[in-house]
Amino acid sequence: MSNRTITQKAKYILALVVQISALLVAMFYSDLSWHIGVWILAAFIPWFILPLSLKSNSKLSSSSPTVQGNTSLDSMKYIQQIEQLFTETLPKVSEPLAMQRTVIDESIETLNDSFFGLQSVSEKQSLISSTLVNNLLANQGSEYDLTTVLPRTEAIIDNFVQTLIDISEKSISAVHSIHDMSEKLDTVFKLLAQVRGLSEQTNLLALNAAIEAARAGEAGRGFAVVAQEVRELSVKARDLNGKIESEINVALQTVQQANQTVGDMASIDMTHVIESKEKVDRMLRGVQQINTEIEQEVQKIQELGYELTTQVGNGVRSLQFADIVVQQGEYAQTSIMYMQEAIELLKAVHSQNMSKDLLAEQLQQLTERLRNRNAPAANQTSMDEGDVELF
């Protein structure tokens, strides 16, 4: 293999490496399709210029061996400079990509745990609010629903207040009845006094009859016995009248006490009771209004829970950027590996340690691998396009 042939091969390899590098950098860092098109067009320029340059070099080499030698030396010098440039540049690209992947992996793990924790809390909140809303809705119309309990409570209080009013009215009627009874008892006392007077008169008449019988002697003995019996009956009637009077006095005292008690009950002011009933009615209406507001707010909480779950889901889906960046970074690192292999071929050409056939075979294999490699798994430029398997 002549130096001229090696130099031409090196130039072709150099053009191929430059083209691949430019396209990789363009596709990795550009997010607009026309940028990539410009880079592809620019990548074809060396292939139009290089043949002309090679023809010119060929003519020069045929005309002047000295020029050919100088060109070969210059080409080797340029190859060494480009080789040195790639050797220094590729680590500066691959190392940041590796560090970027490490940082993204750590960050995405933390974000992943945070989002899934937030999603779990959101689901629990939604479950609690849903249960609360369902219980409120399920109790509507039931025995324990506030919309049922409050009217019943109000009706019970109305009945209670009405009962107190009725008791007050009946107490007034009872006071009048007891007063009438007390007057009747006073009449009974008057009658008992008359009975006591009759008993005393009967006793006096019996005493007079006994005196007259004693004056009559034997003829009045029978009459004296009758007079004695009448006197004893008069005494018994007086004692019985005293007992009746005593019991009626006790009854009168009881009636007077009942009259006082019932009078006190009848004199109770029902205005306070009615005002209290109105206060309770207002409180019940307030409780009912608060219950309605609570139901509305709980429904709002449920809706917010659904919205939070949706937002968390959107956040989790947005975490696809980690997969996209990692997959694109892996694709770029693989491309850098191909570039490193091309550099090794340049080194072999430079050191003339590789035969022509082996160089052609290596170039063919590298070219086929470049052409046959799969497209990156995540090649979209935004989160609104493409499908990526998440995590």
pLDDT for 357: 77
Query: What six digits make up the tokens of 331?
Result: 């694709």
pLDDT for 129: 72
Residue 64 confidence class, pLDDT cut points 50, 70, 90: very low
pLDDT for 33: 43
> 164-178, 242-256, 324-338: lowest mean pLDDT where?
324-338
Across the chain, mean pLDDT equals: 69
Radius of gyration of the chain (CA): 62
Report how far Cα 16 is from the mean position of its chain's Cα atoms. 61
pLDDT at 55 over 60: no
Q: Is 264 exposed, middle or buried (0-12, 13-18, 19+ CB in 10 A)?
A: exposed
**How far from 319 is each of 21, 312, 331, 380, CA to CA, in Å?**
29, 11, 19, 14
Angle at the Cα of 118 (from 113 to 120), degrees rounded to 5? Answer: 95
Q: Which residue has the tokens 């309770």?
A: 280
CA distance 334 to 283: 76
**How far from 8 is each of 64, 75, 172, 366, 384, CA to CA, in Å?**
17, 9, 132, 18, 47
End-to-end CA gap in the chain: 53
Q: Which CATH class is domain 146-268?
A: mainly alpha
- Residues 89-107: pLDDT tens digits? 666 666 766 776 777 777 7
pLDDT for 334: 76
**How far from 156 is each of 176, 287, 333, CA to CA, in Å?**
30, 17, 83
CA distance 282 to 157: 12
Residue 327 confidence class, pLDDT cut points 50, 70, 90: confident
H helices present in the chain, as ranges: 3-29, 33-63, 65-138, 146-216, 221-266, 270-318, 320-351, 356-372
Residue 34 confidence class, pLDDT cut points 50, 70, 90: very low
pLDDT at 78 over 70: no
pLDDT at 236 over 80: yes
Between 84 and 246, whose confidence is greater? 246
Residue 385 confidence class, pLDDT cut points 50, 70, 90: very low
Burial 151-170 (b: 16+ CB within 10 A, else e): eebbeeeeeebeebeeebee
The percent of residues above 90 in pLDDT, for the chain, comes to 0
The percent of residues above 70 in pLDDT, for the chain, comes to 61
CA distance 325 to 307: 29
CA distance 352 to 366: 19
Domain ranges of the chain: 3-137+321-372, 146-268
Name the 3-class secondary structure at 247: helix
- Using H for helix, E for strand and C for coil, what is the string for 157-194? HHHHHHHHHHHHHHHHHHHHHHHHHHHHHHHHHHHHHH
pLDDT for 312: 73
Cα dihedral: 301, 304, 306, 307 (round 10): 180
Name the 3-class secondary structure at 216: helix
pLDDT for 305: 74
- Residues 244-300: pLDDT tens digits? 888 888 888 888 888 787 777 767 666 777 777 788 778 777 777 877 777 777 778
pLDDT for 386: 47
**281 φ/ψ angles, rounded to the nearest 5 degrees:** -60, -45
CA distance 49 to 47: 6
Secondary structure (DSSP) of 332-353: HHHHHHHHHHHHHHHHHHHHT-
pLDDT for 38: 46
Q: Is 346 exposed, middle or buried (0-12, 13-18, 19+ CB in 10 A)?
A: buried
pLDDT at 46 over 60: no
Residue 322 confidence class, pLDDT cut points 50, 70, 90: low
Q: What is the pTM of this model?
A: 0.38
Between 218 and 384, whose confidence is greater? 218
> Are residues 58 and 51 in contact, defined by beta-carbon separation less than 8 angstroms?
no
pLDDT at 216 over 60: yes
- Residues 170-213: pLDDT tens digits? 777 777 777 787 787 788 878 878 888 888 888 788 788 778 77
**How far from 234 is each of 68, 246, 323, 333, CA to CA, in Å?**
180, 18, 128, 143
pLDDT for 136: 65
pLDDT for 146: 65
- Residues 291-312: pLDDT tens digits? 777 777 777 877 877 777 777 7
